[in-house]
A and B are shown apart, each in its own frame.
Chain A
Amino acid sequence: MRKAFLWLVLFVILARGFVAPAHAQFETLEATPASAGGELAINDIQSATEAYYGRVEEYRNAEKRFLLAREDYYQQNTLAALEEANRRAKDVLRARSDVLHSYYRYLRLSLEATNGIELADKEEALAQLRFWEEALIEHREATAPLVSRPQLDGHLRLLNDQKLSLVSAAYSSLSLMKMGNIQTAVDNTILVREYMADQIDQSSLAAAEKEIKLRGLEEVDRLVQAARNNYAKLREDYMLFTRQNNYSEQNYRAFQGNAEYSYLQLRQSLSFLKEISRGVK
């Protein structure tokens, strides 16, 4: 009987290791510093994403319980109801700090791993994200000694007042990542275009055919230039809103709409490059 039980425990332990490598990885990687680039960075981002989804669930439950307890207190106005509301307020404060912290961690890791961003812009955005990560940890820790309703109410409102700055840091970072991706695609399109021009030049193609292909490359140049111009406009808008520390979700949606032009131009140039590459070795 005991043997069978031990076998079962052993099996479950082994199976757990088999089932949840991502979660196990998260627990170990949480403590390790994030490395820029490479597989470790991808693993870090993956684990941060998983952690974020978990924290969202915890926050949703904590908020639901808090709102119910607060309503009970407002309706009954008894000391018991007040105590319960205080307890739930503390829980929701912790959960709110946790979910926000996990999100800013994910943003920082993703931004660190994104290439093509102007170094100064990247450093500034990373500094902001680090600041919020630390501020949220402090905010969570400061929750522990709070016991009375006025204290908890004050602490709840403290974060409410920071909403604009928090949101601005998040959406400006997301925009910066998109800009980095566009810049990388532009740079690589230019490199492939140059390489292709050399290949056409060295190939044994007929002169007329070479001419057609070179005209195709001119079309690619025009598209890339249009994508770059659009990118410059995107960056201008980005700088304007981030300086005001007011980069809202609305700004971000507008940015996405405008950035799509660059993307479409790059996609078209890729399509032309593929067409031109036929017959070139």
Chain B
Amino acid sequence: MSSADMKPITPEKETTIYEAPDPLELTSTFDQTRFTEESVMDGGSRSSRPVEAASRVAEVPKKKRDPRIILMAVLGVLALVVLPLMSIFTRQVVQTRNGATASPTPNVEATGNQSELEKRLILLEQDVATADPIQLDLAYPPVNFELDLLDATSKERLEQERSTRQR
């Protein structure tokens, strides 16, 4: 082996010289929440590592999600679930109010294979059911026909107050 073949031995990686940190800096960067016993158990390797350095190692580039997008996604999912349910519910309420589902009378169209007489009887059944006078009506508006706005010191007003107190 000639001297020309010999390559100078160069370190593959640049060695870094450990510099003792500033004691004041240490107090802020060292993980002070760890127990001394723990450092004994793991050979004291981790306890001596500054927290900042550890976090740098674990740092993986993460995409920060916009909270507005998350909020909108949640709202979208809620809308998908709630709106169809509301639709079903409101339709049922409307039908019940108008007696469409409450009436037990059969539907003429649903029974196509019936004789003329049977069809007439079914229609009559509907007419008789409609003629029930106790059927629920739309109630008269619950309005107050005794509203007024008197002068606070008028005789009429004071008499009103007196009579209410007596009652």
Chain A residues engaging chain B, CB cutoff 8 angstroms: 1, 4-5, 8, 11-12, 15, 18-20, 22, 45-46, 49-50, 52, 55-56, 59-60, 63, 66, 70, 73-74, 77, 82, 85-86, 89, 92, 96, 99-100, 103, 106, 149, 152-153, 156-157, 159-160, 163, 167, 170-171, 174, 178, 181-182, 184-185, 188-189, 191-192, 195-196, 199, 249, 255-256, 259-260, 262-263, 266-267, 270, 273-274, 277, 280-281
Contacts and interface: CB of A to CB of B under 8 A. Distances in A.
A99 B76 contact: no
A281 B150 contact: no
B contacts with A: majority SS = helix
Contacts of B148: 153, 156-157, 160
B151 interface: yes
Interface of B: 66, 68-69, 72, 75-76, 79, 83-84, 86-87, 90-91, 94, 97-98, 115-118, 120-121, 123-125, 127-128, 130-134, 137-138, 140-153, 157, 161
Nearest to B137: A174
A256 B98 contact: no
A5 B75 CA distance: 11
A266 B117 contact: no
27 contacts: A1-B69, A8-B75, A19-B86, A49-B97, A55-B141, A56-B142, A74-B152, A74-B157, A74-B161, A86-B149, A92-B147, A96-B147, A100-B143, A103-B138, A103-B141, A159-B145, A160-B146, A160-B147, A171-B140, A174-B137, A182-B131, A185-B127, A185-B131, A192-B124, A196-B117, A256-B134, A260-B134
Nearest to B151: A149
B143 A20 contact: no
A77 B153 contact: yes
The 7 closest A-B pairs by CB, nearest first: A259-B133, A185-B131, A163-B145, A181-B131, A15-B83, A77-B152, A153-B149
Contact of B143 (A59, A185, A189, A249): A59
Contact of A46 (B98, B116, B123): B98
A235 to B, nearest CB: 14
Nearest to A187: B127
B79 A178 contact: no
Given A1-B66, A49-B98, 6 more contacts: A19-B87, A60-B142, A89-B149, A152-B149, A260-B134, A281-B115
A281 B130 contact: no
A188 B127 contact: yes
A255 B137 CA distance: 14
Given A15-B83, A103-B138, A192-B124, A281 B152 contact: no
A278 B59 CA distance: 88
